Amino acid sequence: MKFMTKKYSRKDLMKITIEEHLKCTEYPRVGATIAKDGIILSTGYRGEKKGIHAERVAIEKLNNEQLKDSILYTTLEPCVSIQKDQSVKSCSDLIIESGITETVIGVLDPNGTIYSQGYRKLLENNINVSFFNRKLREAVEEETFEYGEIHKIVGSGKRRIPVVNSGTSLDVQFSENDSRTIKLRWNTLQPNHNCVDLLSSNGAVRIASGASKFEDITDPMVFRFPSHYARMKKDMIAIVKPSRATFYVLIKLIEIYEKDILFKWEMRNY
């Protein structure tokens, strides 16, 4: 694809990169743009070439001279090598070796195995890193992941989320058409002990002792020992109902990984 020699501002290049990621037909959506002196050299999006990440798509359209001293805009933090012997070079490694001098990132990857590692690796290898402005980051976050906003869950469902550093806070909304919300937080992940802490307001959290599925629970208040947190292990079910809430959420921990957890939830009126 050939581009005119029009010069774009950094903000315009961020918007163009978002336009690329909106072309994706699968999640997570990722778009990339490579520019030099404000002039677009190439673009790419995840799925433009089957199985190829957006950054690689854009990089492979250019030669070494074109890439030298260029800036890469990408809506999602570049990936890092997950396995020592993986056959495909990570996007972070590709960027480092390409001659690109700066990477502008939309959002950091919420996948706990990648979160901040691509960002750190680029910095450690003398690649300047900056980020999209706040409004554009919010736009990227809403459109990148299949479930939308990573700090919000709605209705009932299943999600895998990172629990790294300070944990992950969530707003639990009853439904798309019902804005009632409960706040909770996953924290203190201990994969070696197969447990993670679920926190909410004081007295809001109960363990559904003895229950193995949501259908076993007919009244959340029959379970004793309300607390502000529950130390959850795999297959445990917790009930979160703050004192003034008119609904409650059931949460079952399905799996614990090194930096992530998988859980499912269900909303119920009280």
Q: Which residues contact 121 (CB under 8 A, 6 or more apart)?
A: 80, 92, 96
Residue 72, pLDDT score: 98
Q: Which of 146, 151, 149 is nearest to 167 (CA)?
A: 151
Give me the mean pLDDT over the 71-92 stretch: 86
Residue matched to tokens 């990169």: 17
Whether the per-residue pLDDT at 84 is higher than 80: the answer is: no
Is 48 in the active site?
Answer: no
- What whole-number distance in Å separates Cα of residue 67 and Cα of residue 100? 6
Helix (H) or strand (E) holding 185, with range, is: strand 178-190
Please say whether the beta carbons of 178 and 190 come within 8 A: no
**Annotated active-site residue in 19, 26, 48, 55:** 55
Q: Where are the domains of the chain?
A: 10-144, 152-269
| pLDDT-based confidence at residue 128 (cuts at 50, 70, 90) | very high
Residue 75, pLDDT score: 96
- Looking at CATH, the fold of the domain delimited by 10-144 is given as Cytidine Deaminase; domain 2 (3.40.140)
Q: Which of 173, 250, 261 is nearest to 216 (CA)?
A: 250
Whether the per-residue pLDDT at 142 is higher than 80: the answer is: no
- What whole-number distance in Å separates Cα of residue 28 and Cα of residue 47? 10
Give me the mean pLDDT over the 82-111 stretch: 87
DSSP structure string for 126-173? T-EEEE--HHHHHHHHHHHSTTS-TTEEESSEEEEEE--TT-EEEEEE
Query: pLDDT tens-digit profile of 41-53?
Result: 999 999 999 989 9
Query: pLDDT tens-digit profile of 232-261?
Result: 999 999 999 999 999 999 999 999 988 888
Q: Which residues contact 191 (CB under 8 A, 6 or more apart)?
A: 256, 257, 258, 259
Whether the per-residue pLDDT at 2 is higher than 70: the answer is: no
Choice among 29-38, 101-110, 156-165 with the minimum mean pLDDT? 156-165
- Residue 7 carries which DSSP code? B
Please say whether the beta carbons of 66 and 41 come within 8 A: yes
Asked whether the whole model's pTM tops 0.75, one would answer no
Identify the top-confidence range among 65-74, 107-116, 137-146.
Answer: 65-74
Please say whether the beta carbons of 208 and 226 come within 8 A: no
Please say whether the beta carbons of 111 and 144 come within 8 A: no
